[in-house]
Chains A and B, each alone.
Chain A
């Protein structure tokens, strides 16, 4: 049916679990693009015969609507994938985990790199060029120090005042929150409640 392929892309994305990214469906995108192309060719052919047969107008309109709809669905598919990637930039930082990377297509990886640098440039320019890391406290701070457990051997970790903590597997520490948030997101530390 007309427009089915493009719509199935939207469905696929909508049904996937929130916050995850299914593999880029290159086949369906290509098929939807082919459909756009063939609809367009048919329309061109019909327009040339329009002078002989007025009844062709309805068909042209229908195909044009289907074509616009396909385009819209394709762009929506791309845009919503980017939105999910964007959320990951804020939650996970500028390095994507490998399982996410394998699901992306080449232009998406390029976009992510560009978006990352846009965000970083903006954060550096804040406060008269002093910079402010906006990704540190996504939730309001409750305590200065939090108890964390180390999930893997990370090695030495230097705090702001120059103290050095040895983060070895299964050790627990009481650390300043602002310094260990990035490690928590990377999965090195776990917040113990």
Chain B
């Protein structure tokens, strides 16, 4: 039995809220694909805190359901194990995001501030809080130990633009095409003006620069593998 089947089995049992259109198993599949993407992408992807919250809610519900089961039931152990696995996926996904948030703090805070549309926000409110607090703690640490001992004002500033780490958008990623997407522009990095266009056919697998497929990834035309 596949992992998704078991989860479907145990999770759909608890999912009696009829107004919800997506089933728990679909949410899990989505989270698994988000998890993969987040781990493979060189930069931070948009946050999906609704999905994560929904999944965490399901886990708690299932745990409560399991508590009512008889202890000797063989299925109990299998269900528990499955829940642990789901929990791991969610936790690992969130950890991976935190790692990127810490590494690219200043870059992400700046990008986040530029966006007007809240549905495209990179950071969830909690993550924003985390990033701000992290950036502040690092800067005050720098200030305490080094910067305030430098007498000249201009030199004693922490210039985030000059010193902070930014993600490498030109890094290469492996990807699989889900929907046909003709005419993807691959810009020429060498400067010989040799921009190329390729047609991506569903089912193909490629190794391409992240920056050229970033939009396709957002719209779900390709997935990272």
Contact = CB atoms under 8 A, between A and B. Distances in A.
Interface of A: 29, 33, 36-37, 40, 67-68, 71-72, 74-75, 78-79, 82, 86, 105, 107-108, 110-111, 114-115, 118-119, 121-122, 125-128, 130, 132-134, 136-138, 140-141, 143-144, 177-178
A179 B210 CA distance: 40
24 contacts: A33-B146, A36-B155, A37-B150, A40-B150, A71-B146, A71-B150, A74-B145, A78-B142, A79-B138, A82-B141, A107-B144, A111-B141, A114-B137, A115-B137, A121-B130, A122-B127, A127-B53, A128-B56, A130-B56, A134-B94, A137-B91, A137-B92, A140-B88, A177-B84
Interface string B143-158: 0111001111001001
A115 B90 contact: no
Top 6 nearest A-B pairs (CB, nearest first) are A127-B56, A107-B144, A141-B84, A118-B133, A125-B126, A122-B130
Contacts of B15: none
Contact of B77 (A114, A125, A144): A144
B9 to A, nearest CB: 18
B150 A36 contact: yes
B126 A122 contact: yes
Nearest to A26: B145
A177 B84 CA distance: 10
A166 B212 CA distance: 59
B1 interface: no
B81 interface: yes
A122 B87 CA distance: 17
A125 B84 CA distance: 20
B84 A178 contact: yes
Provide the main secondary structure of the chain B interface. Answer: helix
Contacts of B81: 141, 143-144
Contacts of A67: 155
Contacts of B87: 132, 137
Nearest to B78: A144
Given A132-B56, A136-B91, A144-B84, 7 more contacts: A29-B145, A37-B149, A127-B52, A137-B92, A138-B95, A141-B85, A144-B81
A134 B91 contact: yes
A75 B146 contact: yes
A37 B129 CA distance: 36
B111 interface: no
A33 B150 contact: yes
A119 B142 CA distance: 20
Contacts of B172: none
B124 to A, nearest CB: 9
A82 B130 contact: no
B178 to A, nearest CB: 26
Contacts of B190: none
A136 B142 CA distance: 31
A60 B127 CA distance: 44
B141 A107 contact: yes
A134 B126 CA distance: 14
B80 interface: yes
A160 to B, nearest CB: 9
A136 B59 CA distance: 16
A53 to B, nearest CB: 22
A74 B146 contact: yes
B57 A127 contact: yes
B151 A37 contact: yes
Given A40-B152, A126-B126, A141 B52 contact: no
Contact of B137 (A37, A68, A111, A136): A111
A141 to B, nearest CB: 5
